[in-house]
């Protein structure tokens, strides 16, 4: 079998109550590319909640730092007002039932995790790192736009930014933020057919 096709045969242990096949297998393919090309740079997720997606990053790359950005108290009212006034989302979901300890205890390599608790982008100061793999899964217009502004210039060549909910009608601010940013930077996205409509930006 062609080496790269071995990917399709291996047994997966993903939690399919929480993730769908396309999301998880696309991440696996991206990890394969990053490892094959030995891409440098660290990893980050903005919008961690209980760490279920970030856990994969930490498991796949035990030697890379993983920056975890979240309020760990759910959505902040400063972001909520923009959502409501633009009718992007109702912000009804509550992501407050998590703790940093719970997230770190779920990680296979917690020593590589750096937690940045609070409202992004206020929590992004003072980092020198560049990034090869970033997940923006914070649902709302403002942090998605701020996340792109922050991480895209710090994305290494051959790196990836995954933006969850791009094609999700329940969170219309995500698409609005991505489209604004892409227009400004003259870049494009690859939309995925996963359940919540992730899109991908690469360099």
Coil/strand/helix, residue 152:
helix
Q: Six-digit token pair at 55?
A: 């856990």
Q: Pick the closer one to ligand SAM by CB: 144 or 155.
A: 144
Which positions from 135 to 154 touch ligand SAM by CB under 6 A, shown as an x/- string? --xxxx--x-----------
Are 199 and 157 within 8 A, CB to CB? no
Stretch that binds ligand SAM, among 33-41, 58-66, 134-142, 181-189 (CB under 6 A): 134-142
How many chain residues bind ligand SAM (CB under 6 A)? Answer: 21
Query: What residue has token string 């030697």?
Result: 63
State the sign of the Cα–Cα–Cα–Cα dihedral 29, 30, 31, 33: positive
Are 39 and 156 within 8 A, CB to CB? yes
Residues 83 to 122: which contact ligand SAM by CB under 6 A?
A: 95, 119-120
3-state secondary structure 48-88: CCCCHHHHHHHHHCCCCCEEEEECCCCCCHHHHHHHHHCCC
Residues 28 to 47: which contact ligand SAM by CB under 6 A?
A: 47
Answer for which of 34, 42, 49, 89 binds ligand SAM (CB under 6 A) is: 49
Answer for which of 26, 58, 79, 91 binds ligand SAM (CB under 6 A) is: 79
Stretch that binds ligand SAM, among 1-9, 28-36, 50-58, 125-133 (CB under 6 A): 50-58
In angstroms, give the least distance from the CB of 165 to ligand SAM. Answer: 8
Q: How far is CA 101 from CA 48, 50, 57, 107, in A?
A: 13, 10, 18, 10
Give the footprint of ligand SAM on this chain (CB under 6 A): 47-50, 52-53, 69-71, 74-76, 79, 95, 119-120, 137-140, 143
């Amino acid at each position: 079998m062609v080496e790269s096709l071995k990917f399709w045969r291996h047994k997966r242990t993903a939690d399919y109550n929480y993730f769908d096949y396309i999301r998880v297998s696309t991440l696996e393919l991206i990890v394969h590319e990053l490892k094959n090309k030995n891409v440098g740079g660290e990893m980050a997720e903005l919008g961690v909640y209980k760490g279920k997606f970030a856990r994969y990053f930490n498991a796949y790359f035990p030697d890379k730092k993983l920056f975890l950005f979240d309020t760990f108290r759910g959505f902040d009212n400063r972001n909520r007002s923009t959502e409501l006034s633009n009718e992007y989302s109702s912000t009804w979901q509550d992501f407050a039932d998590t703790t940093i300890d719970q997230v770190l205890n779920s990680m296979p390599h917690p020593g590589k995790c750096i937690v940045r608790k609070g409202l992004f982008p206020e929590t992004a100061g003072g980092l020198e790192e560049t990034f090869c793999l970033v997940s923006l899964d914070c649902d709302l217009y403002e942090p998605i736009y701020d996340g792109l502004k922050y991480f895209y210039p710090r994305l290494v060549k051959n790196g990836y930014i995954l933006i969850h909910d791009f094609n999700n009608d329940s969170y219309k601010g995500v698409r609005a933020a991505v489209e604004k940013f892409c227009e400004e930077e003259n870049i494009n996205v690859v939309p995925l057919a996963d359940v919540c409509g992730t899109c991908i930006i690469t360099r």
